[in-house]
Amino acid sequence: MTDGYAGYRAQLLETLRAKGIRDLAVLRAVATVPRHLFVPEYLSHRAYDDAALPIGNGQTISQPWIQARTLEAMQLTGRETVLEVGTGSGYQTALLAQLAETVVSIERVRALSDAARAALERAGIRGPMLLVSDGTLGWQPLAPYDAIAVSAASPDVPEPLVRQLVPGGRLVIPIGDLDHQVLTLVRRTQDGMERTNLADARFVPLIGEHGWGEK
């Protein structure tokens, strides 16, 4: 891509590698997607910092390392159907579009979903289906999913999401209180689920029927 940001993207890749990201498909996706199109224009000079940035409506675009760690844990080969909860800026949606076959992304704030749609279009990414609703309920029409990523902090594992995973499916979700969470890999097994802690994290709250309440 020749957009004047190639050097910054290369630097971000180096940072992610240095912080332990090994999945080549994930690194390739980060090298491909123009992150500066997914942050507010006044922050485009910081788009390739390994940092969370404000995107409006009190929400943030997550730190690239956390996103890369999430994507790695989803173990995608390019053939999967995946669900994302918390579209936000649409950047992780764009990464998912490089890594899976079918991408559904749910956002509760319509203005953010609309902006994400516009950003995806500017980036030339057409595949993902964007929906406005409560993502803690999942989305039954395309279930079951091979993998699900939740980009907002949840008090616990939203049960509908586990139900919408294939056996062996992966759900990556930050679980904890409002100030501190652990990014957690939840694998659906034959008779329940298996949890693995991935990293400490701090996300904005997941607000919905199976997340935090409205207030």
Cite the active site residues: 62
H runs (alpha helix) in 35-180: 64-74, 91-99, 110-122, 159-163
Here's the x/- map for ligand SAH, 184-213, by CB under 6 A: it reads as --------------------x-xxx--x--
Among 136, 164, 181, 184, binds ligand SAH (CB under 6 A): 136
Angle between helix 6-18 and 64-74 (nearest 10): 60
Whether the upstream peptide bond of residue 205 has omega within 30° of 0, thus cis, is no
Compute the least distance from the CB of residue 191 to ligand SAH, in Å.
28
Binding segment for ligand SAH (CB under 6 A), chosen from 82-90, 120-128, 163-171, 181-189, is 82-90
Q: Give the count of beta carbons closer than 10 Å to the beta carbon of residue 211.
A: 20
Of 59 and 98, nearer to ligand SAH (C-beta) is 59
Q: Which of residues 139-178 bind ligand SAH (CB under 6 A)?
A: 151-152
Here's the x/- map for ligand SAH, 33-72, by CB under 6 A: it reads as --------------------------xxxx----------
Cα 122 → chain centroid: 19
Q: Is 159 helix (H, G, I), strand (E, B) or coil?
A: helix
Q: Which of residues 93-122 bind ligand SAH (CB under 6 A)?
A: 106-109, 112
Among 47, 85, 123, 147, binds ligand SAH (CB under 6 A): 85
CA gap 206, 172 in Å, rounded = 13
CA gap 137, 54 in Å, rounded = 26
> Smallest Cα–Cα separation from 127: which of 212, 21, 22, 29?
29
Of 110 and 167, nearer to ligand SAH (C-beta) is 110
Q: How many residues bind ligand SAH (CB under 6 A)?
A: 25
In contact, 212 and 100? CB cutoff 8 Å: no
Of 17 and 110, nearer to ligand SAH (C-beta) is 110
| Contact residues: ligand SAH, CB under 6 A | 59-62, 85-86, 88-89, 91-92, 106-109, 112, 134-136, 151-152, 204, 206-208, 211
